[in-house]
Amino acid sequence: MAGYSDRIHHALAFAAKHHDQQVRKGLRAPYFTQPANVAIILTRYGQDDMTVIAGILHQVVDDFSRGGLSREQLDERLGGKFGSGVLDLLVTIAARKHDDDGIELSPDERRDDVLGRLATAPEPAHWVYAADALHGASSLVADLRRTVDADAVWTRVSGGRASTLRWYRRVHDQLSTAGFAGPLMAELAAAVEELEGL
């Protein structure tokens, strides 16, 4: 099996630096495990470099977008390093702080906004979002299997159990509605169903 390309290694290094001080909520595990695992998932399904890089940088661009960086600022920070194609892809599915009219979005509105844009996003964006959701849902499943106190797991996720389950179900259903039929969807469906059963 061939290793990662130089561009993927560069994206991993960039994401590692960005997420350096971040840890998973309620845990000591470095947050960087998420983009690294998303890269593994996308590579396992044979996705191209652009899609894998987008998967690695997905949370970075989310952070920058929620921080209010403009498209021009994103181009300065990322476009020159990883190409406008990667950035175009990520902007289509980045969580935004404001809507097109400049009105600040509430957390619920941000989620609705992302899902709405996901419906018309290109297929590589579907792969990135599905891989990210698969990692998130699978991580929760693993955490719940390891604990005797499920409430301790659910209290560390934003919105708690009901909101989290609803979110992963909505992501899966929106990807299905958008016509995304990549083989990753079967694995995502299984993870969401298992999470709902725990």
| Amino acid identity at 16 | A
Of the candidates 24, 111, 104, 35, the one whose C-alpha atom is nearest the C-alpha of residue 68 is: 104
pLDDT digits over 77-136, tens only? 888 889 888 989 988 998 888 888 888 988 889 899 999 999 999 999 999 999 999 999
The SS3 call for residue 23 is: strand
The pLDDT value given to residue 1: 44
| Amino acid identity at 78 | L
What single-letter DSSP state applies at residue 156?
T
Q: Does domain 6-197 have CATH number 3.30.565.10?
A: no
> Does residue 148 surpass a pLDDT of 90?
no
pLDDT digits over 51-74, tens only? 999 999 998 888 887 777 788 888
Would you call 11 exposed, middle or buried from its count of C-beta atoms within 10 A (0-12, 13-18, 19+)? buried
